[in-house]
């Protein structure tokens, strides 16, 4: 009997989740699988389908409008989305099976799209869960809290990623659902054993189905494609800067700052005397629409040494010789991308798993440090100098470069992530 060829991917419609899953899709496509991406009506990957030639995109019936995200908040939205999507996803899979002559080898779904489990069970299809965060984040889910202190040194209770997300009973409900692996036959995780081997072993013990750490996915397949347009003019600006002199600042695709913080940040950056490249999205600053609404003072401070873009080609920026450090909110993708280019970090996590990542950056890998408390111009200036100018920063950079080499080795022939991907491919080819 010929092996089934089609893999159905179900991403969460947010950049930080979509990017690594689509990278996995590209890696599997190059192994000879056909790829179908199932999505809802908002933040559609298919709007940038030109980056994924050969992929099929299917939209399922809208179960919740995007506006509900604002009204309900992230936790309630995800719980409701899962309740309301189950039926339309079953219809979708049933149609795909008819059209494709039963040719579905596996459904790979983001851990937050757990409604997919029901369809996999009903149609007796193999399924694999996809995690886009660290293994440490996975093992610090609340149902495992009592084990945290023992196994997650140096994490403190206050670092755990559950504190500010919403009423605890609702957070727990979502975590319970996400933690329930249903009938899935494995878990894919975008990490690599050399970064967090003890958390990975622990995760393996807890979930009792095979865990495949095959990251960083942005280093395994062709370069990632953004859903949004990137401003490449910053590369020309970087070309004019001295080696390792620039601090790159980005708080990810969702992070927000208050106007006052943005101004303090600008003062601090200016006073540090280092050139800076700063991503400020239209929605980055609370209550106002982009930098045009900031006082003139801001433009004056920035114009001398700074360059601002709405969106940067981040991996290329981090890989540019002029970049000496990354001021980051420590999302997992940004963390992996920074390490992948050997760039040390100033950590300014907002919440959740970003705090875990920041803790690892500071205490475990020792490739950066956290700036806590209110954003204050003096602290910003000190932090930038500490990272870019001081010997301490040079040590962090050295360690980041060592890790970079380890990551590169792990995705090459014979490396741990390379082998994990091969194992997964072998498994999918038997389905
Ligand atoms: N990103 C980018 N350009 C920007 C800002 C962000 O390409 O100007 C990308 C970044 O490379 C990363 C993703 O957006 O892959 C952000 O993911 P992350 O997990 O770091 O944070 P999130 O946005 O999910 O909080």
Query: 334 CA distance to ligand 1 centroid (A)?
Result: 6
Query: 272 CA distance to ligand 1 centroid (A)?
Result: 25
Query: 331 CA distance to ligand 1 centroid (A)?
Result: 7
**Residue 218 CA: which ligand 1 atom is closest?**
15
Which tokens in the block code for residue 396? 């962090």
Query: 330 CA distance to ligand 1 centroid (A)?
Result: 10
**Residue 14 CA: which ligand 1 atom is closest?**
24
**Residue 332 CA: which ligand 1 atom is closest?**
19
pLDDT value for 61: 83
| Orientation of helix 259-272 relative to helix 296-305, angle to 10° | 30
Query: 279 CA distance to ligand 1 centroid (A)?
Result: 10
Sign (positive/negative) of CA torsion 229, 233, 235, 238? negative
Residue among 11, 12, 14, 15 whose CB has most ligand 1 atoms within 8 A, to mutate: 15
Which tokens in the block code for residue 312? 């940067």
pLDDT value for 412: 96
In angstroms, the CA 49 to CA 57 distance is 8
Task: Please indicate whether residue 253, judged by its CB atom, sits closer than 6 Å to ligand 1.
Answer: yes
- Per the CB < 8 A criterion, the answer to whether 213 and 134 are in contact is no
Tokens 């963390």 locate to 335
- Per the CB < 8 A criterion, the answer to whether 130 and 24 are in contact is yes
Residue among 228, 256, 333, 341 whose CB has most ligand 1 atoms within 8 A, to mutate: 333
Query: 328 CA distance to ligand 1 centroid (A)?
Result: 10
Task: Please indicate whether residue 314, judged by its CB atom, sits closer than 6 Å to ligand 1.
Answer: yes
Task: Please indicate whether residue 16, judged by its CB atom, sits closer than 6 Å to ligand 1.
Answer: yes
Q: What is the pLDDT of residues 79-91, one digit of tens each?
A: 999 999 999 999 9
Residues near 151 by beta carbon (within 8 Å), at least 6 away in sequence: 139, 198, 202
3-state secondary structure of 62: coil
pLDDT value for 146: 46
**Residue 255 CA: which ligand 1 atom is closest?**
25
Task: Please indicate whether residue 88, judged by its CB atom, sits closer than 6 Å to ligand 1.
Answer: no
pLDDT value for 149: 41
Torsion angle in degrees (nearest 10) through CA of 119, 419, 189, 177 = 40
**Nearest-CA residue for atom 11 of ligand 1:** 314
Task: Please indicate whether residue 410, judged by its CB atom, sits closer than 6 Å to ligand 1.
Answer: no
Tokens 């939209």 locate to 59
Which tokens in the block code for residue 117? 């489990």
Task: Please indicate whether residue 354, judged by its CB atom, sits closer than 6 Å to ligand 1.
Answer: no
pLDDT value for 282: 85
**Residue 252 CA: which ligand 1 atom is closest?**
23
Residues near 28 by beta carbon (within 8 Å), at least 6 away in sequence: 7, 35, 425, 428
pLDDT value for 147: 46
Q: What is the pLDDT of residues 294-311, one digit of tens each?
A: 888 898 889 889 999 999
- Per the CB < 8 A criterion, the answer to whether 284 and 256 are in contact is yes
Query: 233 CA distance to ligand 1 centroid (A)?
Result: 18
Residue spans of the chain under pLDDT 50: 144-150
- Per the CB < 8 A criterion, the answer to whether 137 and 356 are in contact is yes
Residue among 254, 334, 356 whose CB has most ligand 1 atoms within 8 A, to mutate: 334
pLDDT value for 297: 87
pLDDT value for 47: 85
Which tokens in the block code for residue 133? 């965060």
Q: What are phi and psi of 202, to 5 degrees?
A: -65, -45
**Nearest-CA residue for atom 21 of ligand 1:** 331
- What domains are there in the chain, each with its CATH number? 6-215+411-429 (3.40.50.2000), 233-408 (3.40.50.2000)
């Amino acid at each position: 009997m010929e092996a089934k060829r089609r893999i159905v991917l179900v991403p969460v419609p947010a950049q930080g989740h979509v990017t690594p899953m689509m990278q996995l899709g590209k890696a599997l496509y190059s192994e000879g699988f056909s790829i179908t991406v199932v999505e809802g009506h908002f933040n559609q990957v298919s709007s940038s389908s030109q980056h994924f030639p050969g992929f099929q995109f299917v939209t399922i019936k809208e179960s919740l409008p995007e506006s509900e995200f604002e009204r309900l908040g992230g936790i309630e939205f995800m719980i409701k989305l899962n309740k309301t999507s189950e039926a339309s996803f079953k219809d979708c899979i049933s149609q795909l099976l008819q059209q494709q002559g039963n040719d579905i080898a596996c459904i790979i779904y983001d851990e937050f799209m757990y409604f997919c489990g029901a369809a996999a069970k009903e149609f007796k299809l193999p399924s694999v869960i996809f995690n886009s965060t660290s293994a440490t984040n996975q093992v610090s889910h609340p149902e495992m809290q009592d084990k945290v202190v023992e196994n997650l040194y140096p994490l403190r209770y206050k670092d755990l990623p559950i504190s500010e997300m919403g009423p605890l009973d609702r957070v727990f409900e979502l975590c319970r659902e996400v933690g329930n692996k249903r009938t899935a036959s494995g878990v894919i995780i975008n990490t690599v054993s050399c970064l967090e081997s003890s958390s990975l072993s622990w995760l393996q013990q807890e979930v009792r189905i095979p865990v495949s750490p095959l990251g960083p996915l942005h280093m395994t397949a062709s370069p990632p494609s953004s859903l949004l347009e990137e401003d490449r003019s910053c590369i020309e600006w970087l070309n004019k800067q001295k080696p390792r002199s620039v601090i790159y600042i980005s708080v990810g695709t969702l992070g927000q700052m208050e106007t006052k913080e943005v101004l303090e940040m600008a003062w601090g950056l200016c006073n540090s005397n280092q050139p800076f490249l700063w991503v400020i999205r239209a929605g980055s600053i609370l209550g106002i629409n982009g930098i045009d609404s900031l006082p003139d003072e801001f433009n004056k401070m920035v114009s001398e040494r700074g360059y601002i873009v709405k969106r940067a080609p981040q991996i290329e920026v981090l890989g540019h010789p002029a970049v000496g450090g990354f001021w980051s909110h420590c999302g997992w993708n940004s963390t992996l991308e920074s390490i992948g280019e050997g760039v040390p970090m100033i950590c300014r996590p907002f919440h959740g798993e970003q705090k875990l990542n920041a803790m690892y950056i500071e205490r475990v890998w020792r490739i950066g440090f956290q700036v806590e408390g209110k954003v204050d111009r003096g602290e910003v200036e000190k932090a930038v100098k500490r990272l870019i100018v001081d010997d301490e920063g040079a040590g962090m950079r050295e360690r980041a470069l060592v890790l970079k080499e380890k990551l590169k080795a792990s995705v090459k022939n014979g490396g741990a992530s390379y082998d994990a991907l091969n194992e997964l491919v072998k498994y999918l080819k038997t389905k």
